[in-house]
Amino acid sequence: MARFIVRRLLGMIFVLFAVSVIVFGIFFVIPNGAPENRMAGKQSTPQQIAAIRKDWGFDKPITTQYVKMMEKLVTGKNFKSYQQQRDVYAELREGLPRTFALAIGAAILWMAAGVALGVFSALRAGKKADFVVNVLALIGISIPVFWLGALVNHYLGYKLGLFPNGGYVPISEGGLWQWTYHLIMPWVVLSILFIGIYSRVLRSTILETMNEDFVRTARAKGISERRVIVRHVLRTSMIPILTLWGLDFGLVIGGGAILTETVFDLQGIGSYYADSVSQLDVPPIMAVTMLGAVFIVVLNTVVDILYAALDPRIRLT
């Protein structure tokens, strides 16, 4: 087991290293992408450009530049964006609570609604209600989140005035109610897709589990159907859902909610990434991608290790 964990940890480090190289490479090779020309502004002079190159180390070979970038990324010292020389970690600290607020609320919502709908439709498998839930779930996973967000924003926010038209209010400024009020629409919109996925996954796992021996045994013992479902079936069926939940949560925290954030003007990590890419500002791009990769890789590994610990049948490869 210990060896397994060590191997997974080494794998993690390798993956993170590769991610950093890839992202750095993507933005290094762009023609006309030389950051010093952009930073010099419209009325640039050769002396000024030369000074920028020297100051920021753009005159060094690519490997040196990569090492320097990673050094800054890890230590956080003097890690500034090219464009407005802002401290990248300070920006992340501002964006993270916003993204976190979005992700936590949405994750709870999609988990609760996904499980409720999944159980509901599994219990009524083959009936009309099951069919309706299934169709709704299919529609849910077919709606582009940015489109839904734009419409909801317009009709519920602007037209009817039921909700604020986007934006984020920190608890410290507007109190708990304003914070929640501003996040309700983003939570719901972001959740729709996941609710669709989770309800369907849960439904099929429940149906599979119901046919397993231990459930039949339980039934034969005369335990009430309700108890069978809750104590035996649901408990087993929740494992894949919890796994999914961990992975998706990591994804959303790591900037995966970029569309929801931009549509609702939440200014979290995703929007920060979007802005940085449009300015080809490599330091924040590196920081956000690495942050996302860390969340995803760590959660993946944790899930794997837990799985291996819980289920000895899984081969430790």
Distances (CA, A) of 302 to 103, 196, 238: 19, 25, 17
| The one segment of 30-38, 106-114, 178-186, 222-230 that binds other proteins by CB under 8 A | 30-38
Q: Does 15 bind other proteins (CB under 8 A)?
A: yes
Which of 88, 285, 287, 308 is close enough to bind other proteins by CB under 8 A?
285
Which of 6, 9, 51, 314 is close enough to bind other proteins by CB under 8 A?
51
Phi, psi values for residue 59, rounded to 5°: -85, -5
Number of residues in contact with other proteins under rule CB under 8 A: 91
Q: Which one, 102 or 218, has the nearer CB to other proteins?
A: 102
Q: Can you tell me whether residue 213 is helix, strand or coil?
A: helix
Q: Can you tell me whether residue 80 is helix, strand or coil?
A: strand
The identity of residue 51, as a single letter, is A
Packing angle, helices 88-123 and 282-310, rounded to 10: 40
How far apart (Å, rounded) are the C-alpha atoms in residues 39 and 171?
36
Q: Does 239 bind other proteins (CB under 8 A)?
A: no
In the structure encoding, which two tokens stand for residue 287, read together?
Answer: 């920081």
| The one segment of 64-72, 114-122, 177-185, 292-300 that binds other proteins by CB under 8 A | 292-300
Q: Does 45 bind other proteins (CB under 8 A)?
A: yes
Count the neighbouring beta carbons within 10 Å of the beta carbon of residue 196. 24
Q: Does 195 bind other proteins (CB under 8 A)?
A: no
Q: Does 39 bind other proteins (CB under 8 A)?
A: yes
| The one segment of 11-19, 68-76, 102-110, 114-122 that binds other proteins by CB under 8 A | 11-19
Q: Can you tell me whether residue 87 is helix, strand or coil?
A: strand
Positions in 133-192 near other proteins (CB under 8 A) = 138-139, 141-147, 150-151, 153-154, 158, 164-167
Shortest approach of other proteins to residue 102 CB, angstroms? Answer: 14
Taken in order 139, 143, 149, 154, is the CA torsion positive or negative? negative
What's the DSSP call for residue 158? I
How far apart (Å, rounded) are the C-alpha atoms in residues 45 and 212?
75
Q: Does 61 bind other proteins (CB under 8 A)?
A: no
Positions in 298-317 near other proteins (CB under 8 A) = 300
Positions in 107-136 near other proteins (CB under 8 A) = none
Q: Which one, 193 or 218, has the nearer CB to other proteins?
A: 193
